[in-house]
Structure 1
Amino acid sequence: MSRSMLIVLAGLSLALAATGCATSTTRHPVIVSDIGTPATGSDMNASLARPGIVTFQRIRFARWTGGRGTFIDRNDPLTDDVPKGDEEATIYAYVVDHPRFGRILIDTGISADLDTRLTWVMRQGVNNLDIRVEKTMAQWLTGQVVPKAVFLTHLHFDHVGGLLDLPVTTPVYVGSGEAQEQSRANLVLGPSTDAILRGFGPLREWAFQPDASGAFEGVLDVFGDGSVWAIRVPGHSAGSTAYLVNSVDGPKLVTGDAISTRLNWEAGMPQPVTAAARANAWTSADRLRRFAATHPAIEIFLGHQSRTGQREPD
């Protein structure tokens, strides 16, 4: 989210602090996922030795520019030497085609109808982002195979907004605890998330179990064949989920906003999160970086930027 959005939310949170008000990310119903086999980081490592069977594509939907303080924690001494300035951010979605289970999306891009589902406060913040839309989900879907499911990294508007262009019969999967996370900021964010999800069936929550290998908090073999893995990486949000896709042209790691920019990934800069989430955010980012370092062939897809030298999608 942009600096302007964060300022609006911070002001509202301060105003609400005296009342102790907090609410969940969404009031949308949640059920346990119908897919996904609990596994370990060791199982996931072993799967990378096998040839990939799915295809993978990144789609760029929009860009915006925000101050670096949007993406790094300016209150942390680690960021003291990072000069002031702006970072360009991108809204992505990812397409995975499985030979048996069909097409899925990881995150959803953006919809032209998003503005109609936002609260007044959210709308002001988003309008101040100066989002440059390159294509909407509806435009991308023209002539495309309609996805059979959506796997979300988390429930923030810049990752779920494209749902508005998808059939409401599309199953939507989220990380454990994502929908139930309590926050004062959700008094602003929550109603907009509810409005985006309106009409869809219950969110299907990944049924993570503790990772016996200790590599991550939890790992799921989504289709039971080692092709797509869901990885529990809480911190940016309670249910933040990364996805490892063992594609035909090599493994791809989609971090979501567990690591959103090059400053977070390559320079190890901490993100601006609540004090309660800081330890989880740091641990999750460190685990992702360590996992990638162990497997140099993995291509990394950050939440809102490409890595240095990585080609942007057309």
Structure 2
Amino acid sequence: MPVLLLAPGGCATVAAVHPVVASDLGAPSRTSTLEASLSQRGVVTFERIVFARWTAGRGAFIDRNDSRTAGVPKGMEEAVIYAYVIDHPRFGRYLIDSGVSQDLEPRLNPLMRRALHDLNIRIERTTAEWLQGGATPRAVFLTHLHFDHVGGLLDVPDDTSVYVGRGDVEERSWTYRLIGRPADIALDGKGPLHEWAFTPDPDGAFAGIIDVFGDGSVWALSLPGHSPGSTGYLINAVDGPKLVVGDAVSTRLGWEQAMPQPLPASARADAEASADRLRRFSAAHPQVEVFLGHQSRTDQTD
């Protein structure tokens, strides 16, 4: 969630103290190999699901202290909590991000609950309700560990593996000292987090790339900045390639007008580099459909 979990300052504490192990999935690759896979016939089915919505001022999504945002009028933005279902014909069902759970809010501290109330979060369905309609995912691939991407983990069976980018657990903010660690609450009872084993992309187009299943069907992309381990996922779906970018770019203002996010100074360079890499990749491959963290690229509402 923008701002709420990313404010800078002293007395910082970590995002989570949950145990971490190295990923047992995937192998490092490179952009040129990923690009070659785009010409292959897609085998994975892909679905985006809307779980909840909230409303906040634009300052929650763009850095009002940056001169580049001066021309953006004040106003409100509606944001959506999405998750994405991928079904692989050989390896089964996986979930990208986790939706929402009704059980999370009562476990949060009063300050965090007040913040959620101020955002006017409207749940349209819970992860528990979604799970009643089909197969349980074999694993959850997180874009990052922030509250609005991990909340649905409470509804996911405890033996479901959870994957995350390297460094997200160690993200430090004074805000966690105030609101607690929502990620730890969502991960309660789960096994260790599996960290993607990114290595530098030899082609330099991304910070790192992993071929998740070894067949070019699903790729994890290292996109540090919004959080240290922010991860995107490219899916070669049966109806064309899809790119889920998480909060590396969360809104249309960020994508179309390259507006910077409100982030600690130490994260800004990485965040802008990751967003620029995504835009360049999209421009070079217009057949790839891009899914932003909290808004559709094309529709005013979903």
Whether TM exceeds 0.5 here: the answer is: yes
**After superposition, where does 1:231-270 map in structure 2 within 5 Å?**
231-270=221-260
In structure 1, what is the Cα distance between the partners aligned to 2:191 and 2:200? 27
Q: State the 1:191 CA deviation.
A: 2.6
| Alignment match of 2:121 (pick from 118, 122, 131) | 131
**After superposition, where does 1:96-245 map in structure 2 within 5 Å?**
96-245=86-235
In structure 1, what is the Cα distance between the partners aligned to 2:209 and 2:197? 9
Cα deviations by residue, 1:174-194 (Å, 9 ceiling, x for unpaired): 001111122222223553221
Amino acid at match of 2:282: A
Quick check: 1:68 aligned with 2:55?
no
Cα deviations by residue, 1:193-248 (Å, 9 ceiling, x for unpaired): 21111100000000000100000010000000000000000010000000000100
**After superposition, where does 1:9-20 map in structure 2 within 5 Å?**
20=10
In structure 1, what is the Cα distance between the partners aligned to 2:230 and 2:180? 16
In structure 1, what is the Cα distance between the partners aligned to 2:53 and 2:199? 36
Q: State the 1:116 CA deviation.
A: 2.2
Structure 1 contact 119–192 (Cα < 8 Å) conserved: no
Amino acid at match of 1:133: I
Q: State the 1:53 CA deviation.
A: 0.6
In structure 2, what is the Cα distance between the partners aligned to 1:190 and 1:46? 44
| Alignment match of 1:301 (pick from 291, 294, 300) | 291
Give the alignment's TM-score, normalised by structure 1.
0.93
In structure 2, what is the Cα distance between the partners aligned to 1:210 and 1:189? 34
Q: Percent identity?
A: 63
Equivalent position of 1:45 in the other structure: 35
Which 10-residue stretch deviates more, 121-130 or 252-261?
A: 121-130
Amino acid at match of 1:102: G
Equivalent position of 2:20 in the other structure: 30
Amino acid at match of 2:153: L
Give the alignment's TM-score, normalised by structure 2.
0.96
Structure 1 contact 2–129 (Cα < 8 Å) conserved: no
Q: State the 1:99 CA deviation.
A: 0.7
Q: How many residue pairs were aligned? A: 302
Q: Secondary structure at the match of 1:45?
A: helix
| Alignment match of 2:82 (pick from 92, 106, 111) | 92
Equivalent position of 1:58 in the other structure: 48
Structure 1 contact 2–66 (Cα < 8 Å) conserved: no
Q: Secondary structure at the match of 2:248?
A: coil
1:292 and 1:254, CA in 2 relative to 1: closer, same or farther beyond 3 A?
A: same
1:2 and 1:36, CA in 2 relative to 1: closer, same or farther beyond 3 A?
A: closer
Structure 2 contact 199–209 (Cα < 8 Å) conserved: yes
Cα deviations by residue, 1:93-117 (Å, 9 ceiling, x for unpaired): 0000001110000001101111122
Q: Secondary structure at the match of 2:181?
A: helix
Q: State the 1:2 CA deviation.
A: 6.4
CA RMSD of aligned residues (A): 1.6
In structure 1, what is the Cα distance between the partners aligned to 2:22 and 2:266? 26
In structure 2, what is the Cα distance between the partners aligned to 1:310 and 1:288? 22
Structure 1 contact 26–190 (Cα < 8 Å) conserved: no
Amino acid at match of 2:83: A
Equivalent position of 1:82 in the other structure: 72
Amino acid at match of 1:132: R
Structure 2: where are the runs of 5+ without partners?
Answer: none
Q: Secondary structure at the match of 1:185?
A: helix
Q: Could you list the runs of 4 or more consecutive aligned residues of structure 1 that deviate by over 6 angstroms after TM superposition?
A: none
Cα deviations by residue, 1:28-83 (Å, 9 ceiling, x for unpaired): 00000001110011111111011111000000011111100111111111111000
Structure 1 contact 24–190 (Cα < 8 Å) conserved: no
